[in-house]
Structure 1
Amino acid sequence: MAISFDAALGIHPQALLVRTKRAEVLANNIANADTPNYKARDIDFRAVLAAQNASDVAPVKLDVRRNGHQSGLVNPDLAAELLYRNPTQPSVDGNTVDMQREQAEYAQNAMAFQASFIFLNRKFSGLLSAIKGE
């Protein structure tokens, strides 16, 4: 009997990819907290995963002949997935980064990443035990 990794692992591998990209975006916001006219961005995690689940077609892969290219669920330039954050209190210099919110979002994203990673780790341990016959 063949093991279907897609069925066994569920959405968690894709969730890890999106959480990784979201961590990059949030870290970029934090790094640019003092940059004039910088507009905070974020990824709508649920929308990206919902779009991935809704399509039965595999995501379009990029040509990765160059080192800077990436492939995967989220487009590297994130043009469609990135949204501007609505500031609660924008600064005088036009920067829309709220450090407390960015840090809270980053911490929440990190915890969700860790939860998916632990889930996958336990799934692989269970599959390994099943293969060994333990």
Structure 2
Amino acid sequence: MTFNFKDALGVHADALQVRADRTKVLAANIANESTPGYTARDIDFAAALQQHVDSESGAGGAELSLGDGDPLYRVPYHPSVDGNTVEIGVEQAAFSQNASDFQTSLTFVNMQLRGLAKAINGQ
């Protein structure tokens, strides 16, 4: 009998992948805080997760690629003179919230894997 971990873990494994991709985008924003003309980007988590789930159910594994879709650009609250739209406070808050959400999804995956281990061991 074969066992599919993807089915057992549900959407949480996909959520971890999308959160990791969003972490990369937010980290790039923070790293380019002082780059003139840099435009801050972000990922719409719900839309990206739906795209990730749909692409995996239809065409096999797929990775979120910002080049294929339209990346979302942040509209700054206070535009800078040099054209940079990164606002460090906003980016740090988004990064922190994303890290917390990542940890939550990771906790769910951990709980599901522990449950599977108990079932395998007959506990």
**Normalization by structure 1: what TM-score?**
0.81
Contact 1:36 1:93 in 2 (8 A): yes
- Deviation string for 1:15-53 (max 9, x for gaps)? 111111110110110011111111001111110112234
Query: Are residue 6 (structure 1) and residue 23 (structure 2) matched?
Result: no
Kindly state the Cα deviation for residue 86 of structure 1 after the two structures are TM-superposed.
Answer: 1.2
Q: CA RMSD in A?
A: 1.8
Structure 1 letter corresponding to 2:64: V
Kindly state the Cα deviation for residue 88 of structure 1 after the two structures are TM-superposed.
Answer: 1.4
Please show how residues 1-134 of structure 1 align to structure 2 within 5 Å. Answer: 3-54=3-54, 56-59=57-60, 72-75=62-65, 78-79=66-67, 80=69, 82-134=71-123
Structure 2 letter corresponding to 1:105: A
Structure-1 separation of matches of 2:25 and 2:93: 14
Structure 1: 5+ residue stretches without partners: 62-71
Structure 1 letter corresponding to 2:59: A
Structure-2 separation of matches of 1:52 and 1:35: 31
Structure 2 letter corresponding to 1:93: D
Structure 2: 5+ residue stretches without partners: none
Fraction of identical pairs, as percent: 50
- Structure (1 or 2) with the greater helix fraction: 2
**Normalization by structure 2: what TM-score?**
0.88
Kindly state the Cα deviation for residue 85 of structure 1 after the two structures are TM-superposed.
Answer: 1.1
Kindly state the Cα deviation for residue 10 of structure 1 after the two structures are TM-superposed.
Answer: 1.0
